[in-house]
């Protein structure tokens, strides 16, 4: 039978199936040969074999017979295998047709699904609620195809078009990268952020560097992100507590002037670091940072006149008096200190030096000895509209009353 150009239609396949079912239902049982002989139970050479051979049949004749039987079985097996291969060949286009039918059914079911009748505006709102929470710097993971927004582009063509046309799905990005694969990550950044289409951008980057020279000059790509407004960076590296390496400070200088919120709490900066990154501070309104000396706080406030919210951690054993300084825009100050030699000294000197006339929220953490008199003088001097005071140290009811007397807007004191 010639099959190279044969096109089997459904009726032919049905005929074959019917014929095979008829054969199978007839319960044709393959011939089973009786293999029992006078020698079957003999396990060791026996001198009586010769007598048995003379009485019955020779062993060589039995072997010849068994070989003919084996040849017949192998021939039947080969024939059945050929039939099964042919059935498998007939089955493949049917399976393909089945899959195509299922796809067509699912497509048309989607067309009558309520989701397909939703206006794009409502679907866009649903997509926004699918976004995962923005992780902390110590929880950063590369974007996954199994979570929004990337997952939304893999459901169907319409969802992909809606998701790709929504800048609000792509304006935030968290990434954990190593200096060895930074260029690949930078390319991924660029592809992702192009979809934001000018929407204010928010980035979180955790960078792992193996060497003292971190080769972070590639950060210069951020200078082209003119819509970048928020950025958080945490760098793991072998850098001592000396001055910041030139390539890192250069990278910070490449950040665009549109940046207004910057989280650099992954670095420990000193006075010189502040100066080396000077231009970036002037445009910031929100900052999270760690510094190695109290005087760096005042220097930072001097370099960042537009700052309205500052979260700062001071790690220093160096205790010294600070020059008076007034910052006219700071409204929220969250500060913590580490100074084991003289607990409370950092707060003591800061409250003696600072005047914050617009301060509304003050949080002071890790205060072992609260400088009551210095803080009271700070309130009197600043004349600020303080509304919330959060202190981890001990404050008496009498001290609270004095604070409220100086600042009537103060509603509560927590510690």
18 in a structural domain: yes
Same domain assignment for residues 242 and 346: yes
Same domain assignment for residues 314 and 247: yes
Query: In which domain, by residue range, is 377 found?
Result: 141-414
292 in a structural domain: yes
Which secondary-structure segment (H or E) carries 352? helix 345-353
375 in a structural domain: yes
The CATH number that applies at residue 147 is 3.80.10
Q: How confident is the model at residue 226 (pLDDT cuts 50, 70, 90)?
A: low
Q: How far apart are the first and last CA of the chain?
A: 94
Same domain assignment for residues 281 and 191: yes
134 in a structural domain: no
pLDDT at 176: 67
For residue 189, give the DSSP letter.
Answer: H
Same domain assignment for residues 65 and 145: no
Same domain assignment for residues 235 and 319: yes
Least confident piece of the model among 232-236, 293-297, 392-396:
232-236
pLDDT at 380: 93
Other C-beta atoms closer than 10 Å to the C-beta of 268 total 17
Nearest Cα residue to 191 out of 140, 150, 146: 150
SS3 of residue 366 by DSSP: coil
Same domain assignment for residues 289 and 405: yes
Domain boundary among 93, 112, 131: 112
C-alpha 54/C-alpha 65 separation (Å) is 18
- Structural domains in the chain (count): 2
Please give the residue that has the higher pLDDT: either 212 or 109: 109
Same domain assignment for residues 171 and 246: yes
Q: Is the pTM of this model over 0.75?
A: no
Same domain assignment for residues 26 and 164: no
CB burial readout 308-337, b (16+ within 10 A) else e = bbbbbbbebeeeeebeeeebebbbbbbbbb
> Rounded mean pLDDT of 178-196?
67
Nearest Cα residue to 291 out of 310, 267, 307, 308: 267
Same domain assignment for residues 306 and 170: yes
pLDDT in tens, 132-170: 876 554 555 667 788 888 899 888 888 889 998 888 888
List the beta bridge partners of residue 206. Answer: 176, 234
pLDDT at 40: 66
Structure tokens given for 174: 């968290």
Same domain assignment for residues 224 and 361: yes
120 in a structural domain: no
pLDDT in tens, 309-326: 999 988 876 667 788 999
119 in a structural domain: no
Q: How confident is the model at residue 239 (pLDDT cuts 50, 70, 90)?
A: very low
pLDDT at 132: 81
Same domain assignment for residues 174 and 216: yes
pLDDT at 30: 66
132 in a structural domain: no
Same domain assignment for residues 203 and 339: yes
The answer to whether 365 and 338 have CB atoms below 8 angstroms apart is no
Instruction: Give the list of residues 6+ apart from residue 324 with CB closer than 8 angstroms, or none.
Output: 353, 354, 355
124 in a structural domain: no
């Amino acid at each position: 039978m010639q099959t190279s150009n044969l096109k089997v239609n459904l009726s032919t396949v049905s005929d074959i199936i019917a014929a095979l079912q008829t054969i199978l239902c007839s319960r044709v049982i393959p011939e089973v040969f009786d293999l029992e002989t006078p020698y079957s139970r003999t396990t060791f050479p026996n001198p009586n074999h010769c007598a048995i051979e003379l009485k019955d049949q020779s062993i060589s004749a039995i072997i010849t017979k068994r070989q003919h039987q084996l040849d017949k079985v192998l021939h039947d097996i080969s024939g059945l295998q050929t039939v099964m291969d042919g059935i498998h060949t007939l089955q493949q286009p049917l399976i393909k047709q089945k899959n195509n039918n299922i796809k067509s059914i699912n497509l048309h079911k989607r067309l009558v699904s309520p989701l397909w009748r939703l206006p794009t505006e409502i679907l866009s709102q649903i997509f926004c609620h699918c976004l995962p929470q923005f992780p902390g710097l110590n929880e950063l993971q590369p974007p996954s195809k199994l979570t929004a927004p990337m997952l939304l582009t893999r459901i169907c063509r319409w969802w992909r078009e809606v998701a790709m046309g929504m800048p609000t799905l792509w304006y935030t990005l968290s990434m954990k990268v190593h200096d060895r694969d930074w260029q690949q990550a930078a390319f991924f950044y660029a592809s992702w952020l192009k979809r934001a289409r000018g929407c204010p951008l928010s980035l979180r980057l955790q960078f792992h560097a193996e060497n003292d020279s971190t080769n972070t000059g590639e950060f210069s790509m951020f200078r082209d992100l003119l819509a970048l407004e928020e950025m958080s960076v945490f760098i793991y590296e072998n850098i001592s507590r000396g001055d910041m390496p030139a390539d890192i400070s250069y990278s910070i200088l490449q950040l665009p002037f549109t940046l207004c919120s910057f989280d650099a709490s992954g670095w420990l900066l000193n006075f010189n670091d502040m100066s080396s990154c000077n231009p970036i501070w002037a445009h910031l309104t929100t900052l999270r940072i760690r510094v190695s000396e109290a005087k760096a706080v005042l220097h930072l406030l001097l370099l960042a006149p537009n700052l309205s919210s500052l979260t700062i951690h001071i790690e220093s054993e160096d205790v010294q008096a600070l020059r008076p300084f007034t910052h006219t825009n700071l409204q929220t100050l969250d500060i913590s200190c580490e100074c084991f030699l003289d607990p409370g000294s950092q707060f003591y000197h800061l409250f003696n030096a600072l005047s914050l006339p617009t301060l509304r929220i003050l949080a002071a953490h890790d205060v072992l000895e609260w400088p009551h008199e210095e803080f009271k003088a700070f309130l009197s001097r600043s004349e600020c509209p303080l509304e919330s005071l959060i202190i981890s140290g001990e404050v008496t009811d009498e001290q609270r009353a004095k604070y409220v007397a100086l600042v009537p807007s103060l509603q509560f004191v927590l510690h």
